[in-house]
């Protein structure tokens, strides 16, 4: 495998997905059986679930927090942080993952489009910003309250909710000359559309993952492999 050619004028937009976290041992939602750690998505990852059974939703996300705290960044996270050090502000990383493994590997220019496990926010949308909260709660009584008195909820984009920072993401994709998509199946929208937006803006588009994505035809180049094994070589300075 030869390293990706990245010139001094390239602007690189990277999208990472569940496959990158999975290589650090964090289990992901599997479309094959529709379950995530034994739960149906609609029971733990929707606004309706939060309204119906907040204790179950908080229990689920408390366990996700605990698992993420115990996981370590892998070679793919490290390779992306290295690339950012080379490119500076010509680099942006957008992740669908809610863990903090990219930050812990050293990434700075980072957008969490699906939210962050380590934060909570007001359930009533009172306007206060998300707060740092890595708490693991055994019962609903332990969950802190917003300053307005309402319950806090995980700062996670549930199914059926709008991803975060879409305006900034679209602007950055328009400016990018190279898009690299790593470890995401190409079936979750709007992220699955990013490659088309980048292609329309004239960017090269490269996919890396263990199998061909469902939107493979939209890419200029497909690289099949595990991110932690392939990315360090693909992103080496050559
Ligand atoms: Zn509030």
pTM for the model: 0.95
Answer yes or no: are the C-beta atoms of 71 and 22 closer than 8 Å: no
Residue 192 is predicted with a pLDDT of 87
Residue 31 is predicted with a pLDDT of 61
CA distances from 95 to 81, 109, 115, 144, 150 (A): 13, 11, 9, 27, 29
Residue tagged active-site, from 39, 77, 102, 114: 114
Kindly give the distance from the C-alpha atom of residue 129 to the centroid of ligand 1, in angstroms, as a whole number.
9
Kindly give the distance from the C-alpha atom of residue 124 to the centroid of ligand 1, in angstroms, as a whole number.
6
Residue 82 is predicted with a pLDDT of 97
pLDDT confidence tier of residue 238, bands split at 50, 70 and 90: low
Q: Does 74 have pLDDT greater than 80?
A: yes
Kindly give the distance from the C-alpha atom of residue 86 to the centroid of ligand 1, in angstroms, as a whole number.
40
Residue 185 is predicted with a pLDDT of 77
Residue 1 is predicted with a pLDDT of 74
155 is catalytic: no
What does the pLDDT look like over 185-211, one tens digit per residue? 777 788 889 999 999 999 999 999 999
Residue 32 is predicted with a pLDDT of 67
Residue with tokens 């806090």: 152
Mean pLDDT of 84-106: 97
Distance CA 20, CA 75 (A): 10
Kindly give the distance from the C-alpha atom of residue 123 to the centroid of ligand 1, in angstroms, as a whole number.
7
For residue 53 the two structure tokens come to 């059974």
Kindly give the distance from the C-alpha atom of residue 42 to the centroid of ligand 1, in angstroms, as a whole number.
25
């Amino acid at each position: 495998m030869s390293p990706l050619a990245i010139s001094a004028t390239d602007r690189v937009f990277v999208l990472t997905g569940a496959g990158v976290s999975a290589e650090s041992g964090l289990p992901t939602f599997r479309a094959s059986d529709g379950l995530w750690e034994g739960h149906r998505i609609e029971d733990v990852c929707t606004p309706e679930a939060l309204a119906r059974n907040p204790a179950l939703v908080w229990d689920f996300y408390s366990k996700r927090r605990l698992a993420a705290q115990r996981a370590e960044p892998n070679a793919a996270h490290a390779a992306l942080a290295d690339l950012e050090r080379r490119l500076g502000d010509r680099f942006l990383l957008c992740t669908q993952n809610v863990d903090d493994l990219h930050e812990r590997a050293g990434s700075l220019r980072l957008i969490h489009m699906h939210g962050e496990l380590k934060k909570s926010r007001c359930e009533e949308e009172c306007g206060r910003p998300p707060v740092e909260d890595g708490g693991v709660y055994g019962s609903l009584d332990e969950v802190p309250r917003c300053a307005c008195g309402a319950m806090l909820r995980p700062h996670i984009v549930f199914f059926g909710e709008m991803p975060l920072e879409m305006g900034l993401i679209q602007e950055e994709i328009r400016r990018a000359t190279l898009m690299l998509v790593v470890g995401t199946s190409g079936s979750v929208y709007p992220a699955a559309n990013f490659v088309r937006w980048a292609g329309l803006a004239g960017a090269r588009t490269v996919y890396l993952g263990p199998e061909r994505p469902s939107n493979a035809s939209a890419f200029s180049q497909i690289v099949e492999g595990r991110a932690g094994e392939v990315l360090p070589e693909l992103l080496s300075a050559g």
